[in-house]
Structure 1
Amino acid sequence: MMAFAGVNLGKFRILAKAGFCFGVGAKGKLTLEVDADLIWEFAQWVAYQLKNINYERLDFIDDEAFETLSTIVSLALESGEELKEYMLETTRQVANYAQNTWEQLESGIEAADRRARLAERIDTNPDLLKYTSPDTKGQLIHQLIQANAADIVDPRGQEWDPRDSSFWKAGILTARKKAIIQIFTWVQSQAEFDNIMQRVIPTIGGPIISSEEGKRRVQAFLDIGEVDWPIVSFFYTDFDGNLQRFYEHLRPMASKGTPIVRNDMTDYLAQDDTAPSFDRPCFNETQCRVG
């Protein structure tokens, strides 16, 4: 079992049972250190381990360590800063900093501006989401579905690129909705989709909700300004319908030992259930590379 032990001289410190590293029978604990400059590589490795077990609980890392890593990734994605900027001394410090930041995103006077910048960052570079955990994805979605009057009148909330189909249709907050869909394009299975919906909550590590409730919250936002009337609906965006189609398109279980790819690519459906080399040490995607 691994547990987050804070940061020391710019290194992510992890406590691990010796048995995890050296096999059954080994006693005691080890302190593992991941250099701050390599924390993103560590996050990628964890993302692959999640995919290989279809987004169930990882046995080798405790909840607090996993939530801390997911929180650091979320904070970095929101701000555009490097992950090491949020590697504080203790898990409590990371959690407190994140909670204060996310409360401002919901209730602060600059909340609408920060949500708009988050959506822009995702739309500009959706690959940032490739190695995010369900916890990080759910928290980002929670932020993006918050809206007040300032969000509605902010021109950045609308899609202004004529190359995008939503530009030509009536809708509200289309750019924000597009960012949410971008998050879902990196979902690897229906199991991960359900996990994300359970984590559409204000803070990572908070009480989870049912996947049905999470889906209701997301769909309620995507449905703002959309019309379901026959014929007329053709002239309106259909982000709510897009989300349901995404779910139906997903594999029930994630492919093992294969790269993480967007689920709207041919490569996604072409992946084997298990990569032929998955059981050969140093010959599967998750051990040989993280790119």
Structure 2
Amino acid sequence: MRVAGVDAGLNAFAGLKADAEIKGAIEWRNPEDKKKAFEAFANVAPAVAGLAGIGGNAKLTVQYVDGVFKVHADAGLCVGLGAEGKLSFEVNVKLLLKFIKWLFYQLYHANFKRLDYIQESAFNAARDLAYLAISLGESVEKRFGMAADKLTVKVREVNAMFDEAEERQRLAQRILSDPEALRYAPPETKGMLIHQLCNDGNIDWAKSGFGLGDNFLRDQKLAIQYILRRWSHTRTDCRNVIQHMTANGRKGNYEENMARLQRFFREEAPFNRDLPGVDSRHGEDFDAWYNQLTAMLMDEPTRGFPIMPSDSIQYAMQRDAGMDHPLFASTGDRAFYA
């Protein structure tokens, strides 16, 4: 991590005086950049204030305040040894997608475990922004500046929308038709989507073409498999997705949610009727399909490499090599930084 565009005068910026005039950006080396160049994901905040709630020992903290992602870092961490105080950065609308990508890679490199420097406010906002964008088929920038409580209200409105069978069908078709929409979605977002796709009001079959057997709720089942098969980056990621199959992405019970998936994939007719002579391969094959999926997923991420769909040849090559990028664990100007 480094600050670009900050001159030597910053070294006098001890204690971060409120009237200090500094410019710059916080950057990272994006694994997806073929030139391995640094790129910004947040700019120095115009007012170096508002560090309430940041612990004095925290080297790096990410918050969501008043509809904006804020990154606070030790000056020494960004500028070099000898600098004092903290620097505050903000993510503007032009950098929002780059910030979302950066945040996702932090989760990926940690194998989707909790990161103390990403505060709950920031993680919840990233989760909800991704959910709204995918659910509504819109860009994540559309919700830029929306306060956390407004995001929560909007998520509830979208969840209420999915009470309608037609909307669940549209969600399934949207996911199947947009292969990149879930690339940077955290496990919690994917769990929220699968929660909605698993809902069956017994009218869904009529809205989906009166399919029975293999064709019963076919798009919804295919969309769930698509989420798990293509965008589960590691076994931990896949397990977290299933564990967070709830309306708001909160942690649930893995075994109970797996049983829910198994029941859903076994359904072959409305009201879960068993039709003589009509079977659903989706249900019969789900356990074998899931076991095969988890067997081919990585145990650990290949840090420093670009993420790839888990059903791709590139993913298999990274998995089989089983190593981090040589620059990821190195130091100096050529290193990757988590």
The normalised TM-score by structure 2 is 0.69
| 1:2 alignment partner AA | V
Q: Secondary structure at the match of 2:65?
A: strand
Higher percent of residues as helix: 1
Native 8 Å contact 1:134 1:195 kept in 2: yes
Q: Paired residue for 1:150? A: 203
CA distance in 1, matches of 2:264, 2:124: 26
CA distance in 2, matches of 1:52, 1:39: 20
| 1:78 alignment partner AA | S
CA distance in 2, matches of 1:60, 1:102: 30
Q: Choose the corresponding residue for 1:16, options 56, 68, 72.
A: 72
Native 8 Å contact 1:158 1:176 kept in 2: no
- Would the alpha carbon gap of residues 148 and 5 (structure 1) be closer, same or farther in structure 2, given more than 3 Å must change? same
Q: Paired residue for 1:55? A: 112
Alignment coverage as a number of residue pairs? 265
CA distance in 1, matches of 2:279, 2:202: 27
Native 8 Å contact 1:142 1:202 kept in 2: yes
Native 8 Å contact 1:77 1:128 kept in 2: yes
Instruction: Give yes or no for the alignment of 1:132 onto 2:185.
Output: yes
Q: Paired residue for 2:315? A: 268
Q: Paired residue for 2:62? A: 2
CA distance in 1, matches of 2:171, 2:238: 21
- Would the alpha carbon gap of residues 151 and 91 (structure 1) be closer, same or farther in structure 2, given more than 3 Å must change? same
CA distance in 2, matches of 1:216, 1:23: 52
Q: How far 1:257 sits from its partner (Å)?
A: 1.4
Q: Choose the corresponding residue for 2:156, options 96, 99, 124.
A: 99
Consecutive unaligned residues in structure 1, runs of 5 or more? 160-168, 227-231
Native 8 Å contact 1:78 1:118 kept in 2: yes
Native 8 Å contact 1:126 1:182 kept in 2: no
Q: Paired residue for 1:240? A: 286
Q: How far 1:28 sits from its partner (Å)?
A: 5.4
RMSD, aligned α-carbons: 3.0
Q: How far 1:45 sits from its partner (Å)?
A: 1.5
Sequence identity, in percent? Answer: 26
| 1:117 alignment partner AA | R
Q: How far 1:13 sits from its partner (Å)?
A: 3.6
CA distance in 2, matches of 1:277, 1:63: 30
Native 8 Å contact 2:303 2:325 kept in 1: yes
Q: Paired residue for 2:233? A: 188
CA distance in 1, matches of 2:315, 2:210: 30
CA distance in 2, matches of 1:282, 1:113: 52
Native 8 Å contact 1:54 1:253 kept in 2: yes
Q: How far 1:146 sits from its partner (Å)?
A: 0.7
| 2:307 alignment partner AA | I
CA distances 1:6-40 after superposition (whole Å, capped 9, x unpaired): 23xxxx34152436645799765544222223312
Q: How far 1:113 sits from its partner (Å)?
A: 1.3
CA distances 1:135-164 after superposition (whole Å, capped 9, x unpaired): 1111111111111122111136869xxxxx
Instruction: Give yes or no for the alignment of 1:222 onto 2:269.
Output: no
CA distance in 1, matches of 2:281, 2:156: 36
Q: Secondary structure at the match of 2:324?
A: coil
Q: Secondary structure at the match of 1:4?
A: strand
Q: Paired residue for 1:39? A: 96
Native 8 Å contact 2:191 2:245 kept in 1: yes
Q: Secondary structure at the match of 2:66?
A: strand
CA distance in 1, matches of 2:210, 2:235: 29
The normalised TM-score by structure 1 is 0.80
| 1:177 alignment partner AA | K
CA distance in 1, matches of 2:337, 2:158: 33
Q: Secondary structure at the match of 1:14?
A: strand
- Would the alpha carbon gap of residues 137 and 182 (structure 1) be closer, same or farther in structure 2, given more than 3 Å must change? same
Q: Secondary structure at the match of 1:126?
A: coil
CA distance in 1, matches of 2:211, 2:132: 24
Q: How far 1:243 sits from its partner (Å)?
A: 2.5
Instruction: Give yes or no for the alignment of 1:72 onto 2:129.
Output: yes
CA distance in 2, matches of 1:112, 1:284: 50
CA distance in 2, matches of 1:129, 1:255: 19
Consecutive unaligned residues in structure 2, runs of 5 or more? 1-60, 270-276
Instruction: Give yes or no for the alignment of 1:177 onto 2:221.
Output: yes
CA distance in 2, matches of 1:26, 1:149: 63
